[in-house]
Copies of this chain bind each other. A is one copy, B any other.
Amino acid sequence: MSRTTLVEQVRDELLHELSTGKLVPGDKLPNEDALADRFDVSRATVREAVRVLVESGYVSRVHGSGTYVTRVPRREHALDASLSYTRMIAAAGAEPGVRILDARFCTAPADIAERLVSGSESLEVLRVERVRTADDRPVVYSVDQIPRAFVPDVELDRIEPSLHAMLAAHGHTVRQATARLLPVVADTRLARILRVRRGAPLQHIDQTDVDATGRPAMVSAEWHVPDVFELRINRRA
């Protein structure tokens, strides 16, 4: 019972050679048979290990030619690679904070209910309004809504700072989300909450989180102050 898999061992060894400069951008990796020999594993195992590196953007395969080291390290905290703003703010070198403005149970508006359940029934949700801060500066204002049935025993005055952690504790780990991006300008209310000028550009993100079994678990509306921490995404052809 190895605690680390063979794939992980091969991947880590290759990663080590990348980070110590033994392999540099432009270098060609040994071919897959050679790597299989060297690590004493099957070629399938090598391919799986290299696949992880390809997906991370460290190497690139060229059919018929070889596998090459690229100089594109993975952006660890791009929008498409992370769901945690807390971690993204921390990665940007700032002190993350969360302030809860309001938490209540209520009936979801029809459009929200439609996104959370298939039918158009009336739906009780936990609704949380928060402001995230970076070094005490407001950076994100968000309104999150979760079906009450997903978090039945939650007490309003004991809301966890991480709603994803709360959902996970109730068996609804969020693994992916679909987000709609929209630039907007701050109205009076948003300007006050986020401490920007009225008319200042804000990044609006309208998102639906989905749990591991594919059920919508949370709908979030967010307004981000640009430049405090950068929003990035990795794109693929």
- A residues touching B (Cβ–Cβ < 8 Å)? 25-28, 44, 55, 57, 59-60, 62, 68-72, 75, 78-84, 164, 173-185, 199, 201-204, 207, 210, 212-216, 224, 226-227, 230-237
Q: Is the CB of A237 within 8 A of B176?
A: yes
Shortest Cβ distance from residue A216 to the other chain B in the assembled complex, whole angstroms: 8
A60 to B63 CA separation, bound complex (whole angstroms): 29
The 17 listed contacts between A and B (C-beta, < 8 Å) are A25-B210, A28-B213, A57-B176, A59-B214, A70-B214, A79-B181, A80-B233, A176-B236, A176-B237, A177-B236, A179-B233, A181-B203, A181-B231, A181-B232, A183-B224, A183-B226, A199-B199
A176 to B71, CA, bound (A): 9
A59 to B223, CA, bound (A): 29
**In whole angstroms, how far apart are the Cα atoms of A178 and B75 in the complex?**
8
From the candidates B175, B182, B233, name the one contacting A226 in the complex (CB within 8 A).
B182
Are B181 and A236 touching (Cβ within 8 A)? Answer: no
For residue A80, which residues in chain B have a CB less than 8 angstroms away from its CB?
A: 80, 233-236
Within the complex, the shortest CB–CB distance from A147 to chain B, in Å, comes to 14
- Say whether, besides A80-B234, A83-B235, A226-B183, A215 and B25 are in contact (CB < 8 Å): yes
Task: Please determine whether A237 and B184 come into contact, CB atoms closer than 8 angstroms.
Answer: no
- A184 B183 Cβ-Cβ under 8 A: yes
Taking a contact as CB atoms under 8 Å apart, the answer to whether A212 and B174 are in contact is no
Cα-based distance from A203 to B185 in the complex (angstroms): 11
- With the chains together, A60 CA to B232 CA distance in Å? 24
